[in-house]
Structure 1
Amino acid sequence: MKKSLLAIAALTAFAGAAQAQSSVTVYGLVDVGVMGQSNSNMLNGSTGGTSAGYGGSGSASYPRNGNSFGFMQGGQSASRLGFKGQEDLGGGTKAIFTLEQGVNMDNGSQFATGLPGNGKTTVGMGNMSNTGDSSNQGQLFNRGAYAGLSNDKWGTLTLGRQQTLMLDNIGGYDPVNAQQFSPLAFSGQFGGGGTTDNARANGAIKLKEKIMGFDVNALYAPGGYAGNNGVGTRLEGQIGYEAAKWGVQALTSYQEDATALAGTTYGSGLPAGAVVPGNNTAAAGGAGASSIPTTAGTNQVNATVYNARSATLTGKWSPMDKLWLKAGFQYINLGVPSNFQYVSGQPVLPNGSGFSVFSYTAATNPQIKNTFWLGANYDFTPAIKGSLGYYQQNALQNGTATNQANAATTGALSGRTTYISAMAEYYMSKRTNLYAAASQVNFTGAAQSPSQGFSGGPTSATINQQFTYGLGMRHTF
């Protein structure tokens, strides 16, 4: 009897030890609220119900010269559900994995940012599409799907769909780190090194480690194309240092054949036997390109292909216990793609979203964007935090390399966008906070866009500013 009891006790202890060495955690975040916006498209109209952003001329729903008020999700942080696990392998080494999915809180669907294909009408206020070029377009685990090894001495090596180093870095150096109220916080062009579709890297190998206190990180995503291994290849590097009262990070990124997506007006789609523009392969039936409609159809988008180069420098400093000052600069160069003849024949977007490409267009003129920002965070009390930020992006005039060089000396700009953002947070607990935020955006030059006019409604007008405000609640679990 005693032996049996001892055996049971030993097995129980062993099982407990094994359980401690291997674990899986379910985690998530929900963020909901209400918001108002001037010169807005519809706030709740996309496939996933994402709140509206400023709509450019490539969008099916241009901004309207009127105000809107509606549901807001992800005002501060994108809602998500995730699974992460680890197994202790001994010697300071762990096997790790993460699977993370974005969630739309207004209708419970997978997160998608409103590219064409939602089946809504484009007539009048029934136009429910939204500007939605991002790295999350409806993939099952669109926010992350990777596994790897972590070692106390050698750092962490992961493989799979992951955030870029650019996107990893921005959150800690954005003065108003709120998705709907900061141009940096949305996983867009700043995290993608120039094109928002690339803020997350598919099939990437990522190494993050500390060497003598310095952050030394790298990311490599091979293209995987037979005959030309450079197609779609992405390279990133980062070096930085963070102490208790300050931090500085420098990053660089290069991607061949990066795609920028454009939502378009809905059409009847490709007829049988049509030739996709930019694709030399005809469908069954052999119909010529003359039969192709001028607009994309259901689940189809337009894509512009670039070689994207970017460099980012960020810094933060705490001159007193309750105050953090933050600033940054990012240089983006969108150039002519290296391997357009390979990319143009792909029937489905390289991000794995399932959207097919109606038209691939190779960028023919370089485009340079310089963005800087500065701001501050201040803790009024342990529960109340305030944030203020200023952001400005200058887009140099498109043209030849000579014109670009002249633009740098003459100051010629094709457009300028400025943001002034503010947010106040009240923490009811460590996991739950309320927030109020507002952002004023001003557009000059080519950054301006016409509003959408339609029969029986407002006529088209030039939009040069947009004001957004919102109240929300965020809870983590």
Structure 2
Amino acid sequence: MRRTLVFALAMASLVTTANAADVDLFSFNAPPQFKDPLPDSLTWYGVTLFATLDVGYAYQTNGRPLGAVVSGLEFIPFTTTRNYTGQRISTIAESGLTQSNVGLKFDEPLGLGWSAVGRADTGFDPLTGKLSDGCSSFIQNAGVVYTQQNSNADTGRCGQAFNSQLFGGLSNEQYGTLTIGRQNSFQLDGIAAYDPMALSYAFSLLGYSGTNGGSGSTQAARWDNAAKYVYEYGPINAGVMYSNGGSNTGMFGSGYGFTVGGFYKGFSAEAVYTKEHGAVNLQTSVNDTFGSQTLAANISDNTAWSLLAKYTFEFGGRSLGGYPTKAPKAEAPGDKLTFFAGYTHVDQANPSTPIDFGGAAGGYPLTVTATLPDNNAFTTDKVLQFFWVGAKYDLAWGLSFTGAYYHVNQNSYVADGAACTLGGASRLDCAGTFDQVSFLADYNLTKHLDLYAGITYGKVTNGLASAFPGTPGAKYGFAGTGTSVDTTSMMTGFRIKI
């Protein structure tokens, strides 16, 4: 009851602030301005330092305690860990809206219209000061039964010095931009631009789970050893991307992707196609032996395509002060209402070139046995279909409200030569669904500081719920007859950006 009251008070405070500022709007006075002690940017000779710190408080109805290696709360049950055991969790949390990070970017003119561009950044856990390392959280929980596990998550951020992006290249307005290094896939870039929740960990399926951004494999959301070319011509943009992959990168074979999009007035749309060979899919840590220093994984060839769109209505601004007998003062920007929609089709198949050595992202070695890494986990193709819609209303003075709905369908496929025979949640390869509904209120006090509060509800059924405690596929004596798992998560916090 006390936890619920704390969250309710946080929401009430945010709404009260909104109402107070709304009165200012209708009285035609400028809303109160908060002093911003930070400069617009920290740039020196074309090099800009940027960073994000995102922390707060969270409560879950069905969660998992944080561990020594904090990979963040498991906000929704669309996860490989499958270790929700009905525990109510109340905790300080991190990176609810944005992965806390720090980095440098540069855009330095070279002459004749050319510029040198680049970026180097890494995600970190502000509660421990450690670099984001989901793979280490799997090692920590290797072989530990469900009821004794702490938070762990599959991710491509595995303790690398630059676990986000590290690339450099050349840009020209006439000829486009070419960059080389570790970079977001086109799929990850696309959903980031068309997700109503902007890839929030706490409130977005697309942000919390890397499955969509990695075209089926979380570890492949960011491509190492990649070349990326993007060209813009007026309202049209197009791009091509290639990676030769490699061990310890999350994708052993090559990958390539294409994107094309454009905008007209308030409407914009994009189509993305991706092909990945030898992508790494980490298995739940329950599948590892106790004390193991290696990671169990499936290997797959992935094919994905997405159609993404949004439309923004911009409402007229208003005069800041002034009377009918006097000239109006400067015009303030108006409110905005944006609608989002997206669809992604993911097809996972057995790798054309089996993998029996090497490591996952960050250099964590994969388990090598007669059956692992598993090159036969997709005897017939696994198909995931993602659908999402949402809307965001931005008030000109800084408050925004966002609502979103996410849905996933999984087909019934054959894994390791054995098909789903009993149906329901009897096996991971049975057909299943996922649904999530989220709401978020976010108030930008200044350009560099915002406060937020939100709530999300997620539920998996049948095959996507299999192996959770209480379902027929669960291990270590925790099997039951349940066919669904759900949780409600609430988080409020603040984010500082420079």
TM-score with structure 1 length normalisation?
0.79
Contact 1:22 1:88 in 2 (8 A): no
Whole-angstrom CA distance in 1 between matches of 2:141 and 2:380: 34
Per-residue deviation, 1:49? 4.3
The alpha carbon displacement at 1:320 in A equals 4.5
Give secondary structure in 2 for the equivalent of 1:190.
coil
Given that 1:266 and 1:298 are in contact with CA atoms closer than 8 Å, whether structure 2 keeps it comes out as no
Aligned counterparts of 1:208 and 1:141: Cα–Cα separation in 2: 23
Give the 3 Å change call, closer, same or farther, for CA 71–317 of structure 1 in structure 2.
same
Contact 1:49 1:107 in 2 (8 A): no
Q: Does 1:105 align with 2:130?
A: no
Matches within 5 A, 1:274-423: 295=289, 297-321=291-315, 322-340=336-354, 343-344=355-356, 346-349=357-360, 351-358=361-368, 359-362=372-375, 363=377, 364-399=379-414, 414-423=431-440
**Structure 1 position 90, deviation (Å):** 0.4
Name which of structure 1's ranges 414-423 and 66-75 shifts more when overlaid on structure 2: 66-75
Question: Do the aligned residues in 2 keep the contact of 1:121 with 1:128 (CA within 8 Å)?
Answer: no
Contact 2:224 2:245 in 1 (8 A): no
Q: Which amino acid aligns with 2:169?
A: G
When residues 220 and 473 of structure 1 are mapped into structure 2, their CA distance, relative to the original with a 3 A threshold, is same
Distance 1:461 1:334, change over 3 A: same
Structure 1 residue 355 displacement after superposition: 4.1
The within-5 A match list for 1:70-219 is 70-113=91-134, 115-118=137-140, 122=144, 126-130=148-152, 132-177=153-198, 178-186=200-208, 188-219=210-241
Q: Structure 1 residues 438 and 353 mapped into 2: Cα distance closer, same or farther (>3 Å)? A: farther
Q: Which deviates more, 186-195 or 389-398? A: 186-195
Q: Distance in 1 between matches of 2:57 and 2:481?
A: 27
User: Deviation of residue 300 (structure 1)?
Assistant: 1.4
Q: Which residue of 2 is the match for residue 440 of structure 1? A: 457
Q: Distance in 1 between matches of 2:457 and 2:487?
A: 6
Q: 1:451 to 1:190 in 2, by over 3 A?
A: closer
Contact 1:310 1:331 in 2 (8 A): yes
- Closer, same or farther: CA 445–102 of 1 in aligned 2, 3 Å: same
Mapped pair 1:425 → 2:439 = no
Alignment partners' CA distance in 2, 1:194 and 1:47: 25
Cα drift, residue 70 of structure 1: 0.8
Shift in Å, 1:48: 3.1
Does 1:467 pair with 2:461?
Answer: no
Contact map agreement 1:41 1:53 (CA 8 A) in 2: no
**CA–CA separation in structure 1 for the residues paired with 2:175 and 2:118:** 17
1:100/1:143 contact within 8 Å kept: yes
Which stretch shifts more, 190-199 or 256-265? 256-265
> Conserved in 2, the CA contact under 8 Å of 1:57 and 1:449?
no
**Structure 1 residue 197: deviation in Å?**
0.7
Q: Does 1:24 align with 2:47?
A: yes
Deviation string, structure 1 residues 4-51 (Cα, Å, up to 9, x no partner)? xxxxxxxxxxxxxxxx99432221111001111122122x22623422
Using the TM superposition, give the Cα deviation of residue 371 of structure 1 relative to its aligned residue in structure 2, in angstroms.
Answer: 1.0
- The alignment's C-alpha RMSD in Å is 3.0
SS, match of residue 30 in structure 1: strand
The residue number in structure 1 matching 2:74 is 52
* Greater mean deviation of Cα atoms: 248-257 or 358-367: 358-367
**Distance change (3 Å), C-alpha of 1:129 and 1:442:** closer
For the residue of structure 1 that corresponds to 2:414, the secondary structure is: coil
SS at match of 1:107: coil
Asked whether the 8 Å contact 1:296–1:302 carries over to 2, the reply is: no
Q: Is the 8 A contact 2:142 2:292 kept in 1?
A: no
Structure 2 CA distance for aligned equivalents of residues 413 and 121 of structure 1: 24
Structure 2 unaligned segments of length 5 or more: list them. Answer: 1-42, 316-335, 421-428
Q: Structure 1: which 5+ residue stretches go unaligned? A: 1-19, 268-294, 405-411
| Rounded Cα–Cα distance in structure 1 between residues aligned with 2:254 and 2:80 | 27
Moved more, 444-453 or 30-39: 444-453
Say how many residue pairs are matched: 410
C-alpha distance 151-115 of structure 1, shift in aligned 2 (>3 A) = same
Residues in 2 aligned to 1:211 and 1:84: alpha-carbon distance in whole angstroms: 24
What is the rounded CA distance, in whole Å, between the counterparts of 1:304 and 1:124 in structure 2?
A: 21
In structure 2, relative to structure 1, the CA distance for the partners of 1:446 and 1:330 (3 Å cut) is: same
CA spacing shift, 1:421–1:90, aligned 2, 3 Å:
same
Distance in 2 between the 1:373 and 1:417 partners?
11
Alpha-carbon distance in 1 for matches of 2:274, 2:146: 41
Shift of the 28–243 alpha-carbon distance from structure 1 to 2, 3 Å rule, reads: farther
The answer on whether the counterparts of 1:120 and 1:126 sit within 8 Å (CA) in structure 2 is no
What percent of counterpart residues are identical? Answer: 25
Amino acid at match of 2:311: W
Which position in structure 1 is the counterpart of 2:286?
Answer: 265
Q: In structure 2, how many angstroms separate the alpha carbons of the residues matched to 1:263 and 1:355?
A: 15
Report matched runs for 1:4-15 at 5 Å.
none
Alpha-carbon offset, residue 185 of structure 1: 1.9
Question: What is the Cα deviation at residue 111 of structure 1?
Answer: 0.7
Tell me the alpha carbon deviations over residues 388-432 of structure 1, each in whole angstroms, 9 at most, x when there is no partner.
01110000111399x99xxxxxxx971000110110001110111
Give the deviation of 1:117 after TM superposition: 2.2
1:213, CA displacement in angstroms?
2.5
Listed one character per residue, the Cα deviations across residues 202-259 of structure 1 (whole Å, up to 9, x for unaligned) are: 100001120242110111002469xxxx961101000000244110000000011111
The 3 A distance-change label for structure 1 pair 192 and 41 is same
Q: Residues 143-162 of structure 1: CA distance to partner in whole angstroms, max 9, x if unpaired?
A: 01111111121121111111
